Amino acid sequence: MGKPLSRREERRGERRAAILETATQIFKDHGYAGTTMSGIAALLGGSKGTLWSYFCGKDELFAACIEEMTRAFREDLLKVLDPAAPLRPAVEGFCQRFIAKILAPDAIAFYRLLCGECGRAPEISRIFHERGPAVIEAMLIGFLTSHLAAGRLRGGTAMEMANFLFSMCMGMAHSRALLGIEPLPGPTPEAIAATFFRLYGGNGPEGALTEAGVGEGAV
């Protein structure tokens, strides 16, 4: 167990959380270009200098907002993508959580913000990718790499397999949601996993191939 936080450290942590909550909402409401450190400080009721004592600039604050928005999701995926866990349930669990995350209203709103401003402020796309999708990609690739090494998957690289899962999960539903069009029902996590194992099922009890070449996966 770590050393208990002092009251000063607790207050600073609470203040930082309040800043992130307020800043995230302002970014959503006004976009990146329309958000200023002065505006955030005014809404928080403090000085701009106080805000700068927590974050060195708007890009650092934006990155921290992305990390906070995805923190619970990343922590959940760490449990799901446990190399020691059964392979098939892990793949299904990843698909289920990823689909729910990208179709959530707040995620759709943030994607729209990025699409609308990336031309004027390309740095926000880089920040978002590095602090959000790239972290998820690395987690999934690491998980798949461990199962490739164990012989439970075959027929492609971990990068190719991860790309397949991302593509299947996003599909038409995500693009329609971004456009405000009623999403069509997409493939279920179980269906995505079944297709995945038909393509990449390896040897062993977790991803054994039948004689016909169909991946059975873990039960």
Question: CA–CA separation, 126 vs 129, rounded Å?
Answer: 5
User: Encoding tokens for residue 143?
Assistant: 């998980």
Question: CA–CA separation, 42 vs 51, rounded Å?
Answer: 10
Question: CA–CA separation, 48 vs 45, rounded Å?
Answer: 9
Q: Where do runs of H (alpha helix) occur along the chain?
A: 7-30, 37-44, 48-54, 58-80, 87-102, 105-117, 122-131, 133-149, 158-178, 189-200
pLDDT (0 to 100) of residue 90: 97
The answer to whether 88 touches 165, Cβ cutoff 8 Å, is no
Question: CA–CA separation, 170 vs 11, rounded Å?
Answer: 40
Domains of the chain with CATH codes: 1-55 (1.10.10.60), 63-219 (1.10.357.10)
| pTM of this structure | 0.81
What residues have CB less than 8 Å from 175, skipping those under 6 apart? none
Tens place of pLDDT per residue across the chain (219 aa): 456 768 777 888 889 999 999 999 898 888 888 899 999 998 888 777 888 899 999 999 999 998 898 888 999 999 999 988 899 999 999 999 999 999 998 888 888 888 888 777 788 888 888 888 899 999 999 999 999 999 999 999 999 999 999 999 998 888 888 888 887 778 999 999 999 999 999 765 544 443 333 333 333
